[in-house]
Amino acid sequence: MKKIKILLLVFITTISITSCYDDLDDDIIVSTSVEISDFVWKAMNAVYLYKPEIPDLANDRFATNVEYNDYLNSYSSPEELFESLKYMPNTIDRFSRIYSNYNQLLDLLGGTTISNGIEYNLYFVPGSDSEIYGAITLVLNNSVASNLGLERGQIFRTVNGENLNSSNYTDLLSSNNYTLGFADYNNNGTNDTEDDTITLNNENVSLSKETYTENPVHKSEVIQVNGTNIGYLMYNAFNSNYNSALNDAFGEFSTAGVTELVLDLRYNGGGSVQTAAYLGSMVTGQFMGSVYSKLFYNDNLSNNNEDYLFTNSISGGGSINSLNLTKVYILTTNRRTASASELVINSLSPYIDVIVIGENTVGKTQASQTVYDSPGLFSTDGINLGHTYALQPLIANSTNVNDELVPNTGLIPNIDLSESPTNFGILGDVNEPLLAAAIQNITSADRSSGQAIEINEFRQVKQIITPLEQDMYID
């Protein structure tokens, strides 16, 4: 029997789908689970980067409409179907997501979350494979936590009076309201972490999560060392809503005569590809019009392949403040430095010296885009009002000008240095370990890279990655 090709770019339906409006009284008719699954399959067939690797997404996969309908009904939910269509989800596609409410997704893309203002790492208590403690890595500006005076480096051992362990930490820390019990870390005068102790100190703080919108320009300052003006920027997300704030920071660097730059991306999981291109243009300035990065789509969308160029202006935002640097120092961590942050490292490297200090990065070279149940897929025009599902699938690969991808194993630092729960330091302080390593390299006569300064002996707990925490998307 001749196979029926299912053409998705124009969203030709192959099962009977009721219009989202009742022709008689304009009442919205709620979509069924199988109708939403129909949207999921068609969208993935049309845009998914790894479509050729997924047999169930082939255009000629189904011989009849009945076979297609039976296939959709074999999945208990749109989420189950979506997960089945991801390519090598444990290694390659760890990032595509489905959302039951696209309004929540739009908030996330705009930097709005439900947060109490702290980010943290979790570690196993020395000598235990199940007991856990936490260390605050970042306190967000103007948040619940910052208003309570919490600080980076504080150690907590209990939540709501319960000792954290491998069985309860997810539930305890996912609550919207909880009380942290703080502790003191004692290395007992040795370098061996196995004899270290963590003792509660009777300090407790109650935290409540609330709606929070983060300005990703977390900290920007000029540090003078031995007559050298060093710009330090902690930048936590490539959020296009704050392009002007990012550009203003570089304007201040330019005015101050900054000749060296430390770009702190250790907690930056990514964001807008275009904003990443703007940042590259702010760091440099001498390559205007040259190719910064490239995006390659699947065969269905190959006409969308695009080169991002170095530029001297932000669309709708005026001229870019450029430093014309030939070297930049970038600080990284292995759980949070991802996607658009890695794009910056990868895309600048063919043009200038990029010295990476910290840990091996996440390893995400792909870009995503929000896909709606609408004729245009990437637009809400004509959207099906019968449901609020949307997808954020990987749809393109990003390379630098030399067609080099970020490996899925991540980028290896030039200077290997891990953050330590016993010495996180103050962000932007010249003695904070990662920044201190950059300053040492800047001011030292021997500026060789590839040195290993510290090996992390603290056993970190694998934490759940929240949506868009490691993402690179197309505006």
Q: What are phi and psi of 462, to 5 degrees?
A: -70, 120
Residue with tokens 């203002």: 117
Q: H/E element holding 35?
A: helix 33-47
**d(C-alpha 332, C-alpha 266), whole Å:** 4
Which of 68, 63, 61, 56 lies closest to 15 in space, CA to CA?
68
**d(C-alpha 164, C-alpha 3), whole Å:** 56
**Are the C-beta atoms of 25 and 66 separated by less than 8 Å?**
no
Give the residues across from 200 on adjacent strands.
183
pLDDT tens figures, 111-170: 889 999 999 999 999 999 999 999 999 999 999 999 999 999 999 999 999 999 999 999
**d(C-alpha 61, C-alpha 66), whole Å:** 12
pLDDT tens figures, 79-104: 999 999 999 999 899 999 999 999 98
Q: H/E element holding 452?
A: none
Distance of CA 36 to the CA centre of its chain: 27
* Rama region for 410: left / alpha / beta (φ>0; ψ in -120 to 50; rest): left
What are the tokens at 375? 């004729």
Residue with tokens 């299912």: 6
**d(C-alpha 307, C-alpha 294), whole Å:** 4
Distance of CA 93 to the CA centre of its chain: 14
pLDDT score, position 469: 63
- Domains in the chain: ranges and CATH: 113-212 (2.30.42.10), 217-455+464-473 (3.90.226.10)
List per-residue pLDDT tens for the chain, 475 residues long.
Answer: 333 333 333 222 333 333 333 443 457 899 999 999 999 999 999 999 999 999 999 999 999 999 999 999 999 999 999 999 999 999 899 999 999 999 988 988 888 899 999 999 999 999 999 999 999 999 999 999 999 999 999 999 999 999 999 999 999 999 999 999 999 999 888 888 888 999 999 999 999 999 999 999 999 999 999 999 999 999 999 999 999 999 999 999 999 999 999 999 999 999 999 999 999 999 999 999 999 999 999 988 999 999 999 999 999 889 999 999 999 999 999 989 999 999 999 999 999 999 999 999 999 999 999 999 999 999 999 999 999 999 999 999 999 999 999 999 999 999 999 998 988 999 999 999 999 999 999 998 554 444 444 444 788 887 766 655 667 778 7
**d(C-alpha 284, C-alpha 141), whole Å:** 28
- The CA–CA distances, whole Å, from 44 to 50, 82, 450 equal 9, 8, 42
**d(C-alpha 360, C-alpha 417), whole Å:** 9
From the CB of residue 91, how many other CB atoms can be counted at a distance below 10 Å? 10
Instruction: Locate all alpha helices (DSSP H) within 92-141, ordered by sequence.
Output: 102-109
Which of 104, 111, 413 lies closest to 275 in space, CA to CA?
111
**Are the C-beta atoms of 239 and 271 separated by less than 8 Å?**
yes
Can you give the pTM of this predicted structure?
0.89
pLDDT score, position 458: 85
Residue 291 corresponds to which amino acid?
V
pLDDT score, position 193: 85
**d(C-alpha 256, C-alpha 242), whole Å:** 22
- The CA–CA distances, whole Å, from 466 to 120, 140, 142, 413 equal 13, 17, 21, 25
Which DSSP state fits 302?
G
